[in-house]
Structure 1
Amino acid sequence: MTYKILSSSIIYINEDMINQRIDNFLKKKFKNIPKSMIYRIIRTGKIRINKKRIKPNYKLKIGDNLKVPSIKIFIEEKKCFYINNYEKKLLNNILYEDNYLLIINKPSGIAVHGGSGINFGVIEYFRSIRPLDKFLELVHRIDRDTSGILILAKKRTSLISMHQQIREKKIKKEYIALVHGLWPHNLKKISEPLLKVCLKNKQKKMFINNNGKISETYFKIKKQYSCTTLMSIFPKTGRTHQIRAHTSHVGHPILFDQRYGNSNLDQIIKNKINSTRLLLHAFSVDFVHPSSSNILHIEAPLDMNVRNFLQNLV
C-alpha cells in the first residue's frame, strides 16, 4: 500500500454537475477516497460550499463554489496499463460520437473502469486524452472479457436520459455468443432469478436463487455447428453476468468462460483452434437519442480473430 496527498482544491459547479447530492458527487469524483472519510469531512465542516458548512444531502446548484481540503489517501498497488496500450485499440473502435454520446466497440480484455486489480480502464483512458471535456461518464458496463458496444455520456442530461431508458427497458440490446452443445430449438427464453454472491477470492458470481433478482433473457439460434451453437441473445434485464449465468444454468455455457464455463469442453475446442477469449459480444443497441429524440441503431462488428474462429468451425 502507498499513499498520496490530494491537495486542496476549489471546484466551480457548472450545468453538468448540478442537482447531485454533494456526497454522491464527491464519491464519483474521488473514487480512491473511502466513503466513510467523505462523510466525515462533510460532517466536520471541512467541505465548504460558498464558504458555508453543508449536509450530505445538499444538492449542487450552478455557480456553487465547492472547497475540498487536502486529503491523505492510501492507494492499493495495482497492475498498470499504460495509455499507449489503449491508443490503437480504442480510438480506432469509435462507432459513433456527437456532443452528447460516445459509443465504442470495446475489445475483449479491456476493463470499462479501474478496479479489480487494475488502475486504468476505458473511462479513465478517454478522460486522460480529453481533459477539456467537463463531463464523461459510463452509461452502462460490460464485462472485461466481453467485447462490443459500450456507451459513454458526454453530458449529465444525456446520462440521465439514457438511465431513464434503461430503467424503463426501452434500450434494446443484442449479443452474439458461441455456446457449447446444440442449443434446443424450443428454448427461447430463460427467466431465472439471479443472486450475487461474493466468493472467498473476492470475485463475484451470480447463482440461480429464488431470493435473487428477476432476470429475463431471450435466445435465437443463428447457426449450429457439430458441437457448438452460435446464438443471438436479447437480455430484457441487465443483471451482472446475466447471459453467462443463464446459458451455464441450462448446460450450454459460453466458450472460454473462466467463471461460468466448462474447462474440459473448452480444452477440446482449444486443441483444434488457438483461441481463449470469451466468445460473447455486444453486437447492437437501439435507443432514443437524448437530444434529437431520433431512434439510433448502432452495430459493432466482430473482430477479425473471432470471424476467423467462426469460419474454421465445423
Structure 2
Amino acid sequence: MPQSPSTSKAGVEHREITPGEAGQRLDNYLMRQLKGVPRSRIYRLLRKGEVRVNGRRSKPDYRLEQGDCVRLPPVARGTPRPLEDLPLPQGLAQTLAGAVLLEDEDLLVLNKPAGLPVHGGSGVPVGVIEAMRRLRPQEPFLELAHRLDRETSGCLVLARNRPALQAFHACLREGGMDKTYLALVAGSWRGGPRRVQQGLTRDARRGEVRLVRVDEEGRDADSLFTPLAHYDGATWMEVKIGTGRTHQIRVHAAHEGHPVAGDRHYGDFAFNRRLRRLGLRRLFLHARSLSFTLASSGHSYHLDAPLDPDLARVLERLGDPETP
C-alpha cells in the first residue's frame, strides 16, 4: 500500500536577503524556501499577510533587496517529489531542444511553443523551466527571466546567472526593453497606429484562469497597436508593449473591439469558429522580438522568433491581404 508523503511544520523563521538573493520576486523566493508547499498555498499566505517583508505585507511581485528581512510563517511542508521523478511529456525534450534561439554565458532564449506553460502548476506538473532544468542538470543556475501566457508562443528568456537575471529585470523596470508581438485580431482596424493606455486589474476566476479587466484604478498598461495588413474580417497586427501585465494585449485588443483570434476568454465566438475552420487551434498571439542591453555585461541583444508555421498557414488561407 503506497505511503502518503511525510509532512513537517516548522516554526516562524526570519530570513535576511543576501546579495545573491536580491532582485528576485518575493513569490519566486518563497517557492524555493518553502519547498513542498503548493503554489496556491503560498499565494494564500501572501494574501493573508502571513508572509512579511521588514514587518509589512508585500505583494508577490515585490523585488527583494539585500538586507530585507522576510518572515516565513509556520506551514506544513510535504516532502517534494524529486525533480528527476517528474515525467517529461513525450516529445517535449526534442521540441525544446529545437526551440533554442540563442545561448551564451548569460542567457538561454527559446521560441516557446504555444500551449506549454512557463512553469508547472494548475494541474500541469512540468513547464518550460522544470523541463529545461531536467534536460540540463549540469546548469548551476537557470531561472525564468520573464513570463509568457501559456497559449502565447515566441521569445522566452532564461537567465544562466544571477547578475544577468538582475540586469534583465532592471531593463523591464526601467523601460530598457523593446517587446514586439504579432497578432491576428477580429474585424477591420480603422486608422493607423493606436496607443491603448488602460489600467488593468485581476477579475473573477474562470476555472484555473484568473481573468483581467480594464479598470481606471488598475495597474498602468500601455500597448501600441499597428495594423500591418487587412484580411476579410480580420487585421494582422504588430503590438509593442511598454508594460508586461497579465493578458495585457488580449484585454486591450478586446476593449478596442478587436479581440485576438482564438482567444477563449476575451474573444469573439463566431470569429473564433470561422478561424478554426481555417485550421487555427490556438491563440493567434506570438512574441516576435525582444531588444535590450544587459548592464551586467554591456551586451546588446536583438532576439527574433519566427512565426510558427501553423499560424502562417492560417494567414495564407485567409486570402490575399490588403496593406493599410
- TM-score normalised by length of structure 2: 0.76
* Map of 1:47 onto structure 2: none
CA positional deviation for 1:243: 0.1
- The 1:19/1:232 distance shift into structure 2, 3 A limit, reads closer
Distance 2:229 2:33 in 1: 45
What amino acid maps onto 2:317 in structure 1? Answer: N
Find the counterpart in structure 2 of residue 43 from structure 1: none
1:230 and 2:236 are equivalent in the alignment: yes
Matched, 1:126 2:132: yes
Alpha-carbon distance, 1:218 to partner: 0.3
Q: Does 1:141 align with 2:142?
A: no
TM-score (norm 1): 0.79
Q: Percent identity?
A: 33
Residue of structure 2 equivalent to 1:158: 164
Compute the displacement of 1:217 (Å).
0.4
Alignment of 1:248-259 (within 5 A): 248-259=254-265
1:102 aligned partner, one-letter code: L
CA contact (8 A) 2:171 2:294 kept: no
Residue number in structure 1 paired with 2:292? 287
Residue 4 of structure 1 and its aligned partner are, at CA, apart by 2.3
- Unpaired runs of 5+ residues, structure 1, are 8-14, 41-54, 60-69
Equivalent residue for 2:249, pick from 243, 251, 255: 243
Which of these residues, 179, 185, 196, is aligned with residue 185 of structure 2?
A: 179
Task: State the partner residue of 2:36.
Answer: 32
Amino acid at match of 1:294: H
SS at match of 2:239: strand
Instruction: Show CA shifts across 1:224-282 (max 9, x none).
Output: 111111000001111100000000011100101011101111112223x1222100000
Counterpart of 1:86 in structure 2 is 92
Equivalent residue for 2:282? 277
**Counterpart contact for 2:180–2:290, Cα < 8 Å:** yes
Q: Residue 269 of structure 2 aligns with which residue?
A: 263
Contact 2:193–2:227 under 8 Å retained in 1? no
Partner residue in 1 for 2:5 = 4
Aligned residues: 276
How far does residue 18 in structure 1 lie from its aligned partner after superposition? Answer: 4.8
Task: Give the secondary-structure state (helix, strand or coil) at the position aligned to 1:204.
Answer: strand
Task: Measure the CA separation in 1 of the matches of 2:23 and 2:171.
Answer: 19
**Alignment check: 8 A CA contact 2:293 2:300 kept:** yes
Distance 1:26 1:182 in 2: 46
Q: Deviations over 1:277-310 (max 9, x none)?
A: 1000000000113543132111000121111221
* Paired residues for 1:293-312 under 5 Å: 293-312=298-317
> What does the per-residue CA deviation read over 1:16-52, in whole Å, with 9 as the maximum and x for residues that have no partner?
945589997453354531546xx89xxxxxxxxxxxx
Name the CA distance, whole Å, in 2 between partners of 1:16 and 1:152: 20
Q: Which residue in 2 is equivalent to 1:49?
A: none
Amino acid paired to 2:262:
F
Find the residue that maps to 1:199 and give its secondary structure.
strand
> How far, CA to CA, are the matches of 1:16 and 1:105 in structure 2?
31
Give the distance between the partners of 1:238 and 1:91, measured in 2 at CA.
27
- For structure 2, list consecutive stretches of 5 or more residues without a partner in the other structure: 9-17, 52-66, 320-324
TM-superposed deviation, 1:99: 1.3
